[in-house]
Amino acid sequence: MSVLRLDCTKCDRTYAPGAVLNLCTTCDAPLFARYDLERAAKTLRREALATRDRSMWRYHEVLPVADPAQRLSLGEGWTPLLATPRLAARLGMKQVWVKDESGNPTGSFKARGLSAAVSMAKVLGAKAVCLPSAGNAGSALAAYAARGGLEAHVFVPRDIASLFLLETRAYGAHVETVDGLITDAGKVCAGLAREHGWYECATLKEPYRVEGKKTMGYEVAEQLGWTLPDVILYPTGGGTGLIGMWKAFEEMEAMGLIDSKRPRMVAVQAEGCAPIVKAHEEGRPDAPMWQGATTHAHGLRVPKALGDFLILRAVKESGGTAVCVTEAEIVQGTKDLASAEGLFAAPEGGACVAALRKLHASGQVTPEESVVVFNTGTGFKYVENMAPLW
């Protein structure tokens, strides 16, 4: 195993890797995997990467699962970072890139985290895995479980677009629809996981999804010639990608791959569910539960994130911000990306385009700054719930 130890993100407890562990047993906070970065730096060199796999596993020194034969892979990661000049012009910007995650297996960035997490679940001896999901994580869990011959259980809000159900079930997973939001689905999932001994892969409840997601940070740096942009906009539900990228930058600097310059991290949320935005504006270290959460960008409909304090810390340390957009702005952002650049994005990606428009208008992002916008998934799966808004 390439992981040296697991550190609590809140207290100073550390854990040996190799055990089935969810949260810190002292303070219930997420755990971070730590590696021997000095050793990793000897082989994870810029030149060496040129000939490696065009998948997230190209950064294997800083990923769990040392043995390639134990990696459950469908070709996740190494997605394009597209220069988008027409979109940039429309937004009054000079340089906007879109990190387009829609081409991942199962159509979203969730493939990265779940390739890592389900691989580790199998390595640790799990026979069944489970999580609550807004849709994309569920289908990714199911696909990687199928790939590894594991049983999968997925819990989703009842109003999920039907394609997600069909797809997730096609991979052989058991899918249960739950009244309410992802947090309600999470409670049902956690209860049954305890009862049946399933390995829980809920966001940040196990330490390896964030490891897969952090590869987005490695890729942005590598694709920009080992520099980072001035600003990164990321659609934030549970925030794993933002937290993961922030962790990645620290690792990359420690290994001498980048310098100390960091992008301003922008957490993008929907007006109908903006706990991180509210907490950021109030200068709080964590985000209380958002009441009455609603948005058609279901990945953003997360009223309470386990890693809220990690998201807020990264945003603050980076000098970034948190911003919310309306449903109409999300639709407009999605249409802008489609009509200007030919990318049919998930509404979460559209939200980031809309947020950039807002930040440009308020002067928080200036036209000369380089910006990376994340499109985290394909728009195809959302047609049913987005169509009434178009």
Residues near ligand PLP, by CB under 6 A = 108, 134, 136-137, 203, 235-241, 299, 346, 348, 376-377
In the complex with ligand PLP, the residue whose CB is nearer, 148 or 239, is: 239
Alpha helical stretches, state H, the chain:
37-43, 46-49, 85-91, 110-123, 136-148, 162-170, 182-196, 209-223, 240-254, 275-281, 308-317, 327-341, 347-361, 383-386
Instruction: With beta carbons less than 8 A apart as the criterion, state whether 296 and 379 touch.
Output: no
In the complex with ligand PLP, the residue whose CB is nearer, 2 or 375, is: 375
Q: How far apart are CA 194 and CA 199, in angstroms?
A: 9
Shortest separation between residue 301's beta carbon and ligand PLP, angstroms: 8
**Measured in whole angstroms, how far is the alpha carbon of residue 337 from the centre of its chain?**
20
Specify the pairing of strand 151-157 against strand 174-178: parallel
Which strands form 128-132's sheet, in the order they lie side by side? 174-178, 151-157, 128-132, 199-200
Shortest separation between residue 283's beta carbon and ligand PLP, angstroms: 21
Q: Which residue is nearest to ligand PLP (CB)?
A: 299
Shortest separation between residue 299's beta carbon and ligand PLP, angstroms: 2
Supply the DSSP string of 295-361, one letter for each residue: -SSGGG--SS-TTHHHHHHHHHHTT-EEEEE-HHHHHHHHHHHHHHHS--B-HHHHHHHHHHHHHHH
Shortest separation between residue 134's beta carbon and ligand PLP, angstroms: 4
Of 33, 41, 38, 23, nearest to 65 by C-alpha is 33
In the complex with ligand PLP, the residue whose CB is nearer, 64 or 107, is: 107
Shortest separation between residue 44's beta carbon and ligand PLP, angstroms: 24
In the complex with ligand PLP, the residue whose CB is nearer, 77 or 123, is: 77
Residues sharing a CB contact under 8 Å with residue 187, sequence separation 6 or more, in sequence order: none
In the complex with ligand PLP, the residue whose CB is nearer, 58 or 301, is: 301
Shortest separation between residue 43's beta carbon and ligand PLP, angstroms: 29
Q: How far apart are CA 322 and CA 307, in angstroms?
A: 15
In the complex with ligand PLP, the residue whose CB is nearer, 333 or 377, is: 377
Shortest separation between residue 343's beta carbon and ligand PLP, angstroms: 13
Shortest separation between residue 149's beta carbon and ligand PLP, angstroms: 25
In the complex with ligand PLP, the residue whose CB is nearer, 57 or 109, is: 109
Burial of 198 (0-12, 13-18, 19+ CB in 10 A): buried
In the complex with ligand PLP, the residue whose CB is nearer, 239 or 303, is: 239
